Amino acid sequence: MNINKDELLSYGDVKAKEIALTLMEEAIKSSDPYEAVKRALKMKDDKLIVMGKEFPIKGKIYVLAFGKAACSMAKAVEEILRDKLEEGIAVTKYGYALPLKKIEVIEAGHPIPDENSMKGALAGVELAKKVDKDDILLVLISGGGSALFCLPEDGISLEDKIKTNELLLKSGAKIYEINTVRKHISKVKGGKLAKLVKGTLISLILSDVVGDPLEAIASGPTVKDPTTFEDAYRILKVYGIWEEIPEGVKRHIEKGLKGEVEETLKENLPNVHNFIIGSVSKACESARGKAEELGLKAYILTTTLEGEAKDVALALGSIIEEIYNKNRPFEKPVVLIAGGETTVTILGKAGMGGPNQEIALSISRKISGLRGTAVLAMDTDGTDGPTDAAGGLVDSYTLDVLKKGGTDVDEYLATHSTYDALKKAKALLITGPTRTNVNSIFIAVIGVE
């Protein structure tokens, strides 16, 4: 990571902000996908050992990786398997590639899929079909896999998929709801990739979904899916976008409702084995441990944080105020940590920003004047929304700085122009690609002298 520390620490509650950044770095380090694979996967004699479970190596081993952490995970696998690796493909976000020896790298679009997303998915399908009954396919899944590994069903164009994706992202739908729709218009999601594999399929999964439900991570390409076409239809109706989605998508879902096209995978396949090797829980635990090393009391509030970003911020901000002013439920100085995935509902035209930038800007109103207090909110992949920022780091001075500069925070929140507002306050957190993705983390350092 290449963090813009000098800018962030140029004024205000410097000590509190330094602590928040230190805890953030520890959380990211603990979620490193390369290290997570190294911990989970071993090769001994003619066996693969995955988190203690043994798999005999009888034939060839193939690798298919997709997601923002695909290259880091694939690099670890190359080092573990060495000459036992036959071939592989890694599909990752533009700018997230790493040099690999035997595994072909394809960079593609995220959060909006593009032609390369389809190219990567098609290559992945062909690779999966190569896997014979004595072979092993290692599938390495990380956040962003839904967009990066994209292959629409017949009758649905890439443009149709992109339009549907855009509507869902702007609607305020939760990630698992978005994935429910994605699974039902895809040839590879919802367990459909697993159906193609004749040999042993082993998935190593870095979770970026609240609560770690396997069927939701990257839209569950290797697991059975409890959702149905009826669920997909209901979600599109509830969020008011059914009438706006492309005709190709409508027709396919209507066919699904009538039972005219195949549902997603509904049973466990005996040749498929899924393992979660990293999640936001571990990231939060690592941040707490580091805080305690620094001599601070620290508490994890939740690892399933959800809701509209600016509203979540007000609730969390109220807790911070209570601690600062009344020393309850915890005495200051103290650190609060949370993980999860918030959303931003966009109505009409919007500026640039993301959920974590929205949390940061919104909470700056609640912590104004609470000296020695700083709040960091970031997406662990280093990209919050369609921006180059990971999130924001605000303190008790941020609101005053913006007011003195003539910036109306409420107006910027209303238009979701949080990137510009945080930039003006030197509160925009820039990390560059972290090559991991385990949801978002929230760190509040309260009352540090």
H or E stretch at 289: helix 280-293
Beta partners for 205?
141, 276
pLDDT given at position 288 = 98
pLDDT given at position 113 = 87
pLDDT given at position 10 = 97
Residue located via tokens 């959060």: 111
- Domain layout of the chain by residue ranges: 5-31+280-446, 33-151+186-227+264-278
CATH class of the domain defined by 5-31+280-446: alpha beta
pLDDT given at position 144 = 85
Q: Is 164 exposed, middle or buried (0-12, 13-18, 19+ CB in 10 A)?
A: buried
CATH number attached to the domain at 33-151+186-227+264-278: 3.40.50.10180
Query: CA-to-CA distance for 120 and 93, rounded, in angstroms?
Result: 11
Using alpha carbons only, give the angle 437, 438, 443 rounded to the nearest 5 degrees: 110
Query: CA-to-CA distance for 336 and 442, rounded, in angstroms?
Result: 8
pLDDT given at position 179 = 84
Tokens of 203: 């998935």
Residues of the chain with pLDDT under 50: none
